[in-house]
Structure 1
Amino acid sequence: MSAPAPPVGRPVSTTDWARARELAQLAGTRHRIAATEQRTLAAALGAVLAGPLTALTDLPAFDTSAMDGWAVAGPGPWRLAGRVLAGRTPPPLADGWATEIATGAQLPPGATAVLRREHGERTGPQLRPGPAADPTPGQDVRPRGQECRRGEELLPAGTEVTPAVLGLAAACGYDLLTVRRAPSVELLVLGDELRTEGLPAPGLVRDALGPMLQPWLAARGAELPAPRAVRDDFALLRDAIRHSPAEVVVTTGATAAGPVDFLHAALAEAGARLLVDGVRVRPGHPMLLAELPPAGARGAARHLVGLPGNPLAAVAGAVTLALPLLAALTGRTGSAEPGGRCVRTAEPLPGHPADTRLLPVRLTPEGPRPLAFDGPAMLRGLALADALAVLPPGGAAAGDLVELLAVPR
């Protein structure tokens, strides 16, 4: 079968940038992954909690000392006896007695407070508080259950498992976490002109998108094989889309109306339904989102995100469509997708006359500042950027509130 010629000047019904992100999120929410799995703490990083994280124990699990010093019972002066170190179970402490104690050690039964080392005056077997340093009951003690009680909900379902979440789970006694199964994603890198190693050559360029997008999508909880290169051939592209077992297919390039931009035709033959076809954003306006017929053993609903081939434009497409879709598929909350944080500008930020613009910026104490090398085919500015500033048509004036989106890390 011969390749259909892409229609020259194909009319595109473009979508507002905010609406496009909303549609991507809705598509993922409709097909949210219900399957769960248990992972060790080491393997759970980046996944999403399938249910609330509840405390398996009180935190702290016992009264502990918040300082190095002495555990004391009653008012001073005190007679000294022994030492309590972390990891030991101390004997009871009688009224009028004190024992040396380390930070984090269990408070002896009967102790009423902790006297800091710098506040105590030791004379032989006797300990006195320094001037105005007599501890009040409970002073420098972390009481049992101060942070949480057993059975208390600590984090809601949908929370991303970050290093801090792992630390909290470990402190509560978890060895395994129940998380949502990661969505399967396949990255198809399109183009005859792409090289995967060595220097660019006449007519050939290095593939920058595979090395950048692959780890970025994986960090958002996706399960990916190695990127797959697809030549500029209609049948190859159609079959790659039709037979991909992934729940989300991400393509780079072929989204416009050039002589080898076969993506729209391939989607039509694969039985896809377009949800977003072009977005009013610069760079990256010829991006798309489509719903694909189910395929593979799982038989789950599938989606395709078509990113432009220019590197910065592809990043714009990823934050606009791919990341909100992935976040919704796993019920992810509290992440940079679909919304970011807002800050006030330090200076005017240039926008596009009619479309939303995503501009690489550095964050300073005064506010975001624009970076050079911000063209659709450039990555130099992005490599230096702390975020992408979301600018309305016409740009932003100094002091305006603008949204910031995370960049690949």
Structure 2
Amino acid sequence: MIKVQEAIAVIETSSTKMPVKQISIKKAFGYVLAEKVISPISMPPFRQSAMDGYAFTHSIRHQYDIVGTSQAGDHKNIKLQNTEAIRIFTGAYVPDSADTVVMQEHVMSNKNSILIASMPEKFSNVRPKGEQIEKGAVVFEAGTLITPAAIGFLASLGITEAAVYKKPKTAILVTGNELVEPGKKLKKGKIFESNSIMLQAALQTAGINKTKVYRVKDNLKATKKALKSILKNNDIVLISGGISVGDYDFVKEALLQNEVKELFYKINQKPGKPMFFGSKNETLVFALPGNPASSLTNFYIYVLPAIKNRMGFSEIHKPKLVRKLNSDVINDTGKTLFLKAKYDETNVTVLNGQSSAMLNTFATANSLLIVPDDIENYKKGEEVILLPID
């Protein structure tokens, strides 16, 4: 049995990055950059007006003659005298001879001239060339997650494609004779299967939006056969259930018979002790406990960082938080505890219902309180470490 930190370290070193591909930025949302992006232009590429108003050369004068207009898309480099101004609009080219734009609200005007009622400071309302970024500067470093804003910025620089890490092809195998798909009739002795839907939703938080789900009965031959195909066609395989030591738990044996290399089995933690992690070629395998709360706990602690590592994220672990406890916590297990909890700006409350089979508490939690295996108790008011899951 392995310790939590050892298990995390094994997963980090085993989860290699996915291959790189070029992708249109229109389809790049949720991908991670594999290479730094260099700006091909300055942005803005010319001096722009930040307001609707009048461009002029700043002086002690307040009255100016209007000698032209510059609207967005124009390139009129009008040479202004000290007594002259032009009507200008937001985003329009500011002539080289102008250094200031006065807002139209601060001007009294007629057809031929303006009188500035409130004089702006010199250089006001003029966006300098390269204000956002200079030509040749780094737009984004490798490891940057592509967000809608990032797509917009890349497009504004004329960039149409980017090099990204491919998203890992992911599959879920659900085991258990007792499981029934939601929506079907629930007979005595059966329960609705929820782990696959839960894990699919959790995968979406990492940008994995398409996950195929397979189901198999608690049978060694059937489990082995299903895994053979799944392992061949996926980069990450999640298995729900069948990994404990019961008479009908065949997952580990089926994995080994499919030549999956065991990297560790069982973790000194609660919940989620019976977990298998292994690999075959570049495919990573996580055999998760069947109890829903255990399965989701291990997803956050182990699976999610591995996926982010494969996708190329520069930071694969969520930053931990520190809060003060609202009650005492006892750890007499000798294991690392992951307790469902809810935090606010200063404190954290351990929620009732910590059973590995219970999701009702998990559904309202926004964090997991981490109690290391060498800590026997925390006192009320003591600072503790949380893993946010919201």
TM-score (norm 1): 0.83
Q: Is the 8 A contact 1:346 1:366 kept in 2?
A: no
Query: Does the CA-based 8 Å contact 1:59-1:172 persist in structure 2?
Result: yes
**Is the Cα–Cα contact under 8 Å of residues 362 and 369 in structure 1 kept in the other structure?**
yes
The verdict on how the C-alpha distance between 1:148 and 1:195 changes in structure 2, with shifts beyond 3 A counting, is same
Quote the Cα distance in structure 2 between the aligned partners of 1:375 and 1:103.
Answer: 60
% identical equivalent positions: 24
Question: Which residue of the other structure, out of 8, 20, 23, is the alignment partner of 1:36?
Answer: 20
In 2, Cα distance between equivalents of 1:97 and 1:377: 78
Q: Find out whether 1:307 has 2:291 as its counterpart.
A: no
Is 1:67 matched with 2:51? yes
| Compared CA separation, residues 112 and 17, structure 1 to 2 (3 A) | same
| Structure-1 separation of matches of 2:105 and 2:371 | 55
**Counterpart residue identity of residue 137, structure 2:** E
SS of the residue corresponding to residue 70 of structure 1 reads: strand
Distance of 1:213 and 1:72 partners within structure 2 = 61
- Aligned in 2, Cα 1:389/1:106: closer, same or farther, shift over 3 Å? farther
Q: What is the aligned partner in structure 1 of residue 310 from structure 2? A: 329
Which residue number corresponds to residue 179 of structure 1?
A: 164
When the two structures are superposed, what TM-score results if normalisation uses the length of structure 2?
0.87
Name the counterpart of 2:127: 142
Please tell me whether the aligned partners of residues 81 and 98 of structure 1 are also in contact (alpha carbons under 8 angstroms): yes
- 1:345 is matched with 324
Q: 1:47 aligned to 2:28?
A: no
Listed one character per residue, the Cα deviations across residues 225-251 of structure 1 (whole Å, up to 9, x for unaligned) are 421111111111122223322122110
Q: CA 1:305–1:65 in 2, change beyond 3 Å: closer, same or farther? A: same
Kept in 2, the 8 Å contact 1:49–1:160? The answer is yes
Deviations 1:326-358 (A, max 9, x none): 222233213xx3342323336347464333333
Aligned to 1:79: 65
Quickly say closer, same or farther: Cα 1:380–1:84, change in 2 above 3 A: farther
Q: Deviations over 1:255-297 (max 9, x none)?
A: 21122111222222222222121122322121121122x4xxx
- Contact (CA 8 Å) 1:372, 1:381: kept in 2 or not? yes
Residue 374 to residue 43, structure 1, CA distance change in 2 (3 Å) = farther
Could you tell me which residue of structure 2 aligns to residue 316 of structure 1? 297
**In the TM superposition, what are the counterparts of 1:234-273 in structure 2 within 5 Å?**
234-244=220-230, 245=232, 246-273=234-261
Counterpart position of 2:389: 406
Partner of 2:212: 226
Aligned to 1:129: 116
For structure 1, list consecutive stretches of 5 or more residues without a partner in the other structure: 1-12, 295-300
Moved more, 89-98 or 229-238: 89-98
What number of residue pairs does the alignment pair up? 380
* Aligned-partner Cα distance in 2 for 1:206–1:147: 53
Cα deviation, residue 221, structure 1: 4.4
Root mean square deviation of aligned Cα: 2.6
Q: Contact 2:321/2:388 (CA < 8 Å) preserved in 1? A: no
Q: Specify the SS of the correspondent of 1:226.
A: strand
Q: For each residue in 1:308-335, what CA deviation from the matched residue of structure 2 results, as whole angstroms up to 9, or x when unmatched?
A: 111121111112221222222233213x
Q: Contact (CA 8 Å) 1:113, 1:138: kept in 2 or not?
A: yes
Quick one: which amino acid aligns to residue 405 of structure 1?
A: P
The separation in 2 between residues aligned to 1:83 and 1:386, in whole angstroms, is 56
